[in-house]
Amino acid sequence: QQQVKQSPQSLIVQKGGIPIINCAYENTAFDYFPWYQQFPGKGPALLIAIRPDVSEKKEGRFTISFNKSAKQFSLHIMDSQPGDSATYFCAASKDDYKLSFGAGTTVTVRA
Amino acid sequence: DTEVTQTPKHLVMGMTNKKSLKCEQHMGHRAMYWYKQKAKKPPELMFVYSYEKLSINESVPSRFSPECPNSSLLNLHLHALQPEDSALYLCASSLPKATQYFGPGTRLTVL
């Protein structure tokens, strides 16, 4: 049973576009929501993370929006570049060692 | 320094072989993890060590045997693996119940 549902499975945008990835969760005990970026053949790298007491967080061109009442959070990649082409995973945890990952979204940014 | 290192990068082994994967971190993290990742899927948790003691085993077959010799090192001993065990094996580390940092992974192929 997947605790975090991620969509879309894949998306393609033109350079400069804004890919948006959405995640939803059911477990209200989750209190930490990281996003990971993974390039082929590499390990996931932490991109940005948020806690439920914050509605938005920006780091460079990456922005997380968090809607606690809807139990949804999303990643926006502003001014996307071909180098942003990767698989993105959202995740959630509840102050323990286990991360519940979404299924992943493959983003392709065309030049 | 947020680096987790893993060796070897690639490993090919037969079903009767015994091999080991190694992971190292020098960030002072006291939690270390092994994950298995199949192509186009999110990482799946296998084991968690906290303060050098095994705290989580996600019902992993006994042909995988983890070991934590000290707070910086984590090994995964492999014996009598099956072809379906071929995957990317990821190590991660964190402060207790905090952000997990992943290594680059070992690409394992079982013939």
pLDDT at B2: 63
pLDDT at B69: 95
pLDDT at A101: 97
pLDDT beyond 90 at B73: yes
pLDDT beyond 70 at B57: yes
> Hey, what are A36's tokens?
């990971």
Q: What does the pLDDT average to over B72-99?
A: 94
pLDDT along chain A (111 residues), means of 10: 91 97 95 95 94 93 96 97 98 89 98 94
Please judge whether B41 and A104 are an interchain contact, meaning their C-beta atoms are less than 8 angstroms apart: yes
Please give the mean pLDDT across all residues of chain B.
95
Burial of residue A86, with CB atoms counted within 10 A of its CB: 0-12 exposed, 13-18 middle, 19 or more buried: buried
Which of B102, B107, B108 to mutate against chain A (most A CBs within 10 Å)?
Answer: B102
pLDDT beyond 60 at B1: no
Distance CA A105, CA B73 (A): 32
**What's phi and psi for A44, nearest 5 deg?**
-65, 140
Q: What does the pLDDT average to over B77-85?
A: 96
Please judge whether A36 and B103 are an interchain contact, meaning their C-beta atoms are less than 8 angstroms apart: no
Task: Classify the C-alpha dihedral A23-A21-A53-B97 as positive or negative.
Answer: positive
Question: Is some CB atom of chain A closer than 8 A to the CB atom of B66?
Answer: no
Q: Please answer whether residues B37 and B50 qualify as being in contact, where contact means their C-beta atoms are separated by less than 8 angstroms.
A: no
pLDDT at A44: 97
* Alpha-carbon gap: A15 to the closest alpha carbon of chain B (Å): 24
